[in-house]
Structure 1
Amino acid sequence: MSPTKRTPMMVQPVSDPPAAITPEIDKNAACPDLAARSIAYYSMEIALSPALPTYSGGLGMLAGDTLRSAADTAAPMVAISLAHRRGYFRQMLDADGQQTEADVPWSPEATLPSAGKTVTVTIQGRPLKVTAWRFDVVGAVGHIIPVFLLDTDVEGNDAWDRHLTDHLYGGDTYYRLCQEAVLGIAGTALLHELGCTPQVYHMNEGHAALLTLELLREQTASRKLTDATDADAEVVRQKCVFTTHTPVPAGHDQFGLDQAKAILGDVRAGTIERFGCLHNGLLNMTYLALKFSRYVNGVAMQHGKVSQEMFPDYTIHSITNGVHAATWTSHALQELLDKEIPAWRHDNQYFRSVYGIEPARISNCHHLGKQRLFKLVEERTGHQFDPKILTLGFARRVATYKRASLLLQDPKRLLKIAKKIGGLQILYAGKAHPADTAGKGLIKDVVEVAQKLNSSALRILYLENYDWELGAQLTQGVDVWVNTPRRPYEASGTSGMKAALNGVPSLSILDGWWIEGCAEDVTGWAIDDADNEAAEAQNLYDKLENCIAPLYQRPNAWARMQQSCIAMNGTFFNTHRMLSQYFANAYFPQTPMAELELAGEAEPVLAV
């Protein structure tokens, strides 16, 4: 079969990725006064714009949404990440579902203003120059959160070092530890060189944990790092906040002590060891962050409990994730909300007021999103989907614990249900990490089953290159969002939150955020826990056949569910609420919210 021939599982023939990506950004915009920024937010990936390949998935999306809410609410923040000149990767799938990857190159110097400073740090026993490019996240009130993207492609650096900030999650562990040293050590040095000395350093996952060593070095600047005391460590600890994002072991970066010494040097590595930050003889970035943070949290209620069991020697709190409503709500729904409850943009609690809007008007907005999604599907694949038919969406990073194939476990029953209810459509999307052989195999398994099942009654497509724009259209256009992780490995999950904002109910395992968001038959449905996957799959089919499909056949009742998804889950699962909890519980727990003001401004930082 020709690799460009369309089949039910094929996408448009792959073209080469663009040589450069150039969003419209004012390179001459002045940088805000950094001296007034009291919170520094560090993340290995941040989704800043659909045009910039500076993210891979949920962690980066969460970081970007956090900063967008920070900008909307005039929070005194600044952020640090890496430039990722070659991006994460563009996914390409052949007719059999075999994934291949290509770089997504872009040119920071042609796109963004320079930070105007370069710092030199010692990594791998040699000097490393690090510069940065600035991306301004502009909020609804005009407030700017500057994000500095670190870059080692600087003249004078070793040839190998110039590529350290090229690939997000690329290379081997040696490359990754070098990257994490750049993020934490050079990022902190650059901030201080820019005149920014925050009161709070927030590590969004353990990748940035080495910033604690740089803070400790500065704390002992009049002495030596080898002379650092427990009192010095406590000073650093009082400045740091750490958010852990996953109970999956692979999500906690670990490096050999010999590797740590080679990259960080004997003094830094010895300091890590002396302060008891090794775990099982390895440099574990999660344990380093835990040791030097005064506040640690998981990203959902259940995840906080799971994390507490994983790290019993530390106190783990929970702040449930959210999404940035104005980014992920469809244009049609935004127009409706702007007309009926315009205060929603600065105060997401007003989503509750959608109960005052006729459900049919909300349903009409979703129908427009569904039509827009199906237009995209046709453009990409040549296949036409029917807007009248019940459509399920399953899209996320492909990892075995997320169990993308659970929905297809009993093909005969799924096909039988599709025929019984008058047709069923399923859209899949998701990337597997280039080194994840099992994840790639899972994509192929889904494609193989789907090819056998595709018929007039059941249509299944796997869309390639799941990214910001595709994710937005899927969550705005499908009828039901499906999520089937193996408990308790779903720390939070945010795609279902985006769907809920658009009136899309979830059919999901009770894990992560869905434990808090599921009101059975009101905001969606829970897949009952069982001792085996076959039983969970059968429960999924039971809910689909006996609950979801019958309700879908009642347009008025379905519209009321769409209304409740927005009113109940949109009100809580947003980053405006999430960020206010970080301020109240993690950043400045002893400070009344009314006193959290930007210097020279009369309005409170967070009016949410």
Structure 2
Amino acid sequence: MDTLQQKLRKLTRNLWWTWRPEVRAIFRDLDIDIYHKAHRNPVRVLKEITPALLEKRADEVDIATRTDRALRQLHDYLNPLTTWGMVHAGALQSRPVAYFCAEFGIHESIPIYSGGLGILAGDHLKGASNLGVPLVGVGLLYHRGYTTQMLDATYWQHDVSEPVELSDLPMEPALGPDGRQVRVGVELPGRTVWAKVLECHVGRIRLILLDSRDDANSDEDKALAANLYGGDTRMRIQQELLLGVGGLRALRALGITPSVVHLNEGHSAFAILEWARHRVQQDSLEPWAALAEAASATVFTTHTPVEAGHDKFPANLAEEHLVPLADGLRLPLHDVMGLGRTNPGDLGSPFLPTVLALKNCRRANGVSALHGVVARSMWHHLWPNRSVHEVPIGHVTNGVHVPSWLSSELNTLLQTHLGVNWMDGIVRPDLWTKIAAIDPAEIWEIKKVLKGRMLKLVRDRQNQMLARLGLPQLEPQPLDPEALTIGFARRFVPYKRPDLLFTDLDRLDALVNNPERPVNLIFAGRAHPADGPGKALIQKVGQLTADPRFRNRIIFVENYNIHIGRNLYQGVDAWLNNPRRPLEACGTSGMKVVMNGGLHISVLDGWWAEAFDGENGFAIGNGEIHVSNEVQDKRDAEALYRLLEEQVVPLYYRQDANGVPRQWVHAIQRSMRTLAWRFNADRMVMDYVRHCYLPAAVAASCQMPTP
């Protein structure tokens, strides 16, 4: 019979626990100090807790019974009688979807993500797991993670690498048919780089990760996949070859033959060439027929409406690295280079993985309706003989994995009013009509609890930073818990305009320090390590918190990650998003706030352009765009000030005799009723299955080899 330690270890090996708060609570209750010191990582908790303390806590908080219950629930989850995927995705059962992404944000203790792209990828895996959609994730294991954000006394961002021990991660060697750990080699200039293959389980989904720390590699090559988005352009193309080429080879070595390859952004586009190369070498397909087959099986999602966000590899660098693939395809190098060039005849132009993916896929899509429009215009030059509207780029609007972000308190309320198994019907609009019947006072009491918990976390994190810098601690509660609290957290980059509210500090002072209607502003976010302007924006926001007028009204939370985000999404009253339209591809943080009973305040960009109905949140401006960025910024700043002064703040403080802002809560109920059923990961994955995966799987199977 397994010991309690062995049973607990079994629980840690499947990342199902990341969206099960009652399972996470088991490890938290073993020792809360160890739990938080270990970044809420159950694997490390078990490594650090002593047998004596484990035995003591097992008796005090009934760990054994709770663990047995969780293991039974996990077993039932992994062995369902039926799932949506069994019924609707049968064609994928024997040959699953291979979902490639450069980053996966599943939990803060697994630092192989940097921001929105990775969080979306993690939610995609979790959504596919819940639906039972046959899918395998493919990525890289960054053993030095991304970076930890540490601010100095001037609020300048410093990026600290914190290596992760493999033994601290719920991962195992991926074994081939011979029972040995799979290794794959990828040809790079002058050598072959090897990668060990690891795997972890995200519910019902396998996630395959490549680790470049193979004994056969030089020290330089062992560090190839050490950091997410690290190094120069040469390292970047080599990482992308390792992901796309090595990832597909790893699947084959594991006996997995995908019917569809889903490339989540262009970083993994080289998988297209590897698919075709393999078919040429193993099955003697004619090169262009093999490329046509690879294209038919490929789904490509672009997330970046900003030109600078797409990799461009200089011609000589790309040629140097593509020789092995061109030889394997039995094609001239210039033909292979042409696949990734805007103009194939321009032999000196750079190679773009995004172009390779767009020109060689069955289906391409943006991540919101508006982003689809922007992407068709952005890439129209690839199809000069078509009108913009005929450019073959559609859209699948993103959604969020609700169990990963929803507070347990709000979940309990929804179970009471929508039904115990309400998440099984989350995509049904009629289910959410029941929200209107909930007493606003019930919702308000929960929001007060969530806000209090969030404000404590914010204070504690700020005091930790101040203590590290040797600065005075904040007073017991720096932000008024009764004040309207607005959050803003995302990657700091100029087009997202985190400083839009700071264009008139006197007006901001009057807004946040109104004695009868005060406002708290909480900021968090990171800049890319190489992004000086982004770091300057963080410094601008941070230094404003030292201004006596704003010391108890504005705060910046250091080291934004999944844990910080989850608490902010649950606790804020409203969420602010003010990018320069139309540069926000989607922006899923606001969806998480809506699910937790907060209201969204946003420019009509990304998902909000198709979500706002006039009463389920607030819109900044009317969606019109001025040709001058300077004029547009001034216009949007004025619209934001007026919106807060005339609509948002008055609505929040219009409270009844019991202190309940009933009209505000009615807006929350309308927001959840109109948005929750649409902007979730279940609906997103269902859309991909119906409109992308199944058509691609069928198309690829119909490709006939050319004799």
Tell me if TM exceeds 0.5: yes
Structure-2 separation of matches of 1:591 and 1:266: 28
Partner of 2:152: 94
Q: Equivalent residue for 1:122?
A: 187
Contact map agreement 1:454 1:460 (CA 8 A) in 2: no
Q: 1:423-470, CA deviations, whole angstroms, 9 ceiling, x for partnerless residues?
A: 1110000000110011011111222334326348x6101111000010
Residues 223 and 136 from structure 1, CA distance in 2 versus in 1: closer, same or farther, beyond 3 angstroms? Answer: closer
Larger deviation, residues 420-429 vs 246-255 = 420-429
Corresponding residue number in structure 1 for 2:316: 258
Aligned to 2:540: 445
Larger radius of gyration between Structure 1 and Structure 2? 2
User: Which moved further from structure 2: 60-69 or 334-343?
Assistant: 334-343
Q: Which residue of 1 aligns with 2:646?
A: 546
CA distance in 2, matches of 1:591, 1:85: 34
Matched AA of 1:589? P
In 2 relative to 1, CA 461–419 (structure 1 residues): closer, same or farther, beyond 3 Å? closer
Q: Are 1:414 and 2:508 matched, yes or no?
A: yes
The correspondence of residues 227-266 of structure 1 with structure 2, limited to 5 A, is 228-229=287-288, 231-265=289-323
Shifted more, 95-104 versus 320-329: the winner is 95-104
Q: Using a 3 Å threshold, how does the CA distance of structure 1 residues 254 and 489 change in structure 2: closer, same or farther?
A: same
Partner of 2:13: none
1:570 aligns with 2:664: no
Q: Which residue of 1 aligns with 2:401?
A: 324
Residue identity matched to 1:24: V
The aligned residue for residue 345 of structure 1 is 423
Higher helix share goes to which structure? 2
CA contact (8 A) 2:143 2:164 kept: yes
Check if 1:180 corresponds to 2:257: no
Structure with greater contact order relative to length (CA < 8 Å, sep ≥ 6): 1
Mapped to 2, the partners of 1:353 and 1:146 lie a distance apart of 36
1:574 Cα deviation from its structure 2 partner: 0.6
Between the aligned partners of 1:18 and 1:292, the Cα distance in structure 2 is 46
**Greater CA drift, 540-549 or 378-387:** 378-387
Query: CA–CA distance in 2 between the matches of 1:317 and 1:499?
Result: 27
Give the drift of 1:541: 0.7
For residue 559 of structure 1, the aligned residue among 646, 650, 665 is: 665
In structure 2, which of residues 453, 459, 465 is the aligned counterpart of residue 378 of structure 1?
Answer: 459
Q: CA deviation at 1:196?
A: 0.5
Counterpart of 1:270 in structure 2 is: 333
Q: Distance in 2 between matches of 1:510 and 1:40?
A: 33
Deviates more, 1:178-187 or 1:102-111: 102-111
* SS of corresponding position for 2:695: coil
| C-alpha distance 453-585 of structure 1, shift in aligned 2 (>3 A) | farther
SS at match of 2:553: strand
Partner of 1:301: 369
**How far off its partner does 1:50 sit?**
2.0
Give the total of aligned pairs. Answer: 566
What is the identity, as a one-letter code, of the residue corresponding to 2:241?
A
The answer for unaligned runs of 5 or more in structure 2 is 1-35, 48-73, 80-91, 176-181, 327-331, 344-348, 384-390, 464-473, 655-660, 699-707
| Aligned-partner SS, 2:351 | strand
Q: CA deviation at 1:251?
A: 1.4
Instruction: Report deviation, 1:198.
Output: 0.8
CA distance in 2, matches of 1:22, 1:530: 45
Alignment correspondent of 2:141 = 83
CA offset at residue 568 of structure 1? 1.4
Distance 1:275 1:380 in 2: 51
In 1, Cα distance between equivalents of 2:104 and 2:670:
31
Q: Give the drift of 1:526.
A: 3.1
| Residue among 522, 525, 531 paired with 2:619 | 525
CA deviations over 1:93-122 (Å, ceiling 9, x no partner): 122211101113112255311112111221
1:91 deviates by 0.3
Task: Mark the CA change 1:147 to 1:357 in structure 2 (over 3 Å): closer, same or farther.
Answer: same
Residue identity matched to 1:373: M
The 1:181/1:276 distance shift into structure 2, 3 A limit, reads closer
Task: Report the TM-score when normalising by structure 1.
Answer: 0.88
Whether the 8 Å CA contact 1:206–1:289 is kept in 2: the answer is yes
Secondary structure at the aligned position of 1:525 is classed as strand
2:498 to 381, 404, 426: 404
- Listed one character per residue, the Cα deviations across residues 368-393 of structure 1 (whole Å, up to 9, x for unaligned) are 11011011012122441222101111
Q: Secondary structure at the match of 1:560?
A: helix
Q: Is the 8 A contact 2:319 2:337 kept in 1?
A: no
For 2:411 and 2:682, the matched residues in 1 are separated by 17
CA distance 1:257–1:530, shift in 2 (3 Å): closer
Alignment partner of 2:694 out of 583, 588, 595: 588
Give yes or no for contact 1:352–1:571 (8 Å, CA) kept in 2. Answer: no
Partner of 1:363: 444
The structure-2 alpha-carbon separation of the partners of 1:453 and 1:243, relative to structure 1 and needing over 3 Å to count, comes to: farther
The secondary structure found in structure 2 opposite 1:197 is: coil
Question: For 2:569 and 2:487, how far apart are their aligned partners in 1?
Answer: 8
SS of alignment partner, residue 282 of structure 1:
coil
2:112 to 54, 61, 74: 54
Q: Distance in 1 between matches of 2:637 and 2:229?
A: 33
Matching residue's letter, 2:538: I
**Could you tell me how far apart the structure 2 residues matched to 1:129 and 1:563 are?**
53
Return the alpha-carbon distance in structure 1 between the equivalents of residues 507 and 113 of structure 2: 38
Deviates most, 347-356 or 95-104? 347-356
Determine which of 263, 270, 275 is the counterpart of 1:203. 263
Write out per-residue CA displacement over residues 158-214 of structure 1, whole angstroms, 9 at most, x where no aligned residue: 221111111001111111111000100000000011010011000000000000111
Q: Aligned pair 1:286/2:354, yes or no?
A: yes
- Counterparts in 2 of 1:19 and 1:561: CA distance versus 1, 3 Å: closer
Other-structure match for 1:435: 530
Alignment of 1:211-226 (within 5 A): 211-222=271-282
Q: Which amino acid aligns with 2:374?
A: V
Deviation at 1:136, TM superposition (A): 0.5
**Is this contact kept in 2: 1:517–1:523, CA < 8 A?**
no
Cα distance in structure 2, aligned partners of 1:70 and 1:495: 20
Tell me which of 215, 221, 225 is aligned to 1:161: 221
User: Match for residue 425 of structure 1?
Assistant: 520
8 A Cα contact 1:551 1:558, kept in partner: yes
What amino acid is aligned across from residue 196 of structure 1 in structure 2? I
**What's 2:208 paired with?**
148
CA distance in 1 between partners of 2:521 and 2:683 (Å): 32
CA distance in 1 between counterparts of 2:321 and 2:695 reads 36
Q: 2-side partners of 1:20 and 1:564: how far apart?
A: 36
- Structure-2 separation of matches of 1:21 and 1:369: 19
Q: CA deviation at 1:279?
A: 2.9
Residues 456-491 of structure 1, C-alpha deviation per residue, up to 9 Å, x if partnerless?
Answer: 8x6101111000010111111111100110111101
Of 348, 354, 359, 2:435 maps to 354
Which deviates more, 147-156 or 18-27?
Answer: 18-27
Q: Please list the CA deviations of residues 210-257 of structure 1 after superposition, one character each: whole Å capped at 9, or x if unmatched.
A: 0011101012014779x612x222111111000000111121111012
Give the conservation status (yes or no) of the 8 Å contact 1:35–1:197. no
For structure 1, the 5+ residue unaligned runs are: 1-16, 139-143, 593-608
Residue 278 and residue 224 in structure 1: after superposition, are their counterparts in 2 closer, same or farther (change >3 A)? farther
Comparing 115-124 and 480-489, the one that deviates more: 115-124
Assess, with a 3 A threshold, how the Cα gap between structure 1 residues 591 and 244 changes in structure 2: closer, same or farther. closer
TM-score (norm 2): 0.76
* Mapping for residues 7-26 of structure 1, pairs under 5 Å: 23-24=42-43
Structure 1 counterpart SS, 2:174: coil
Range with bigger deviation, 241-250 or 108-117: 108-117
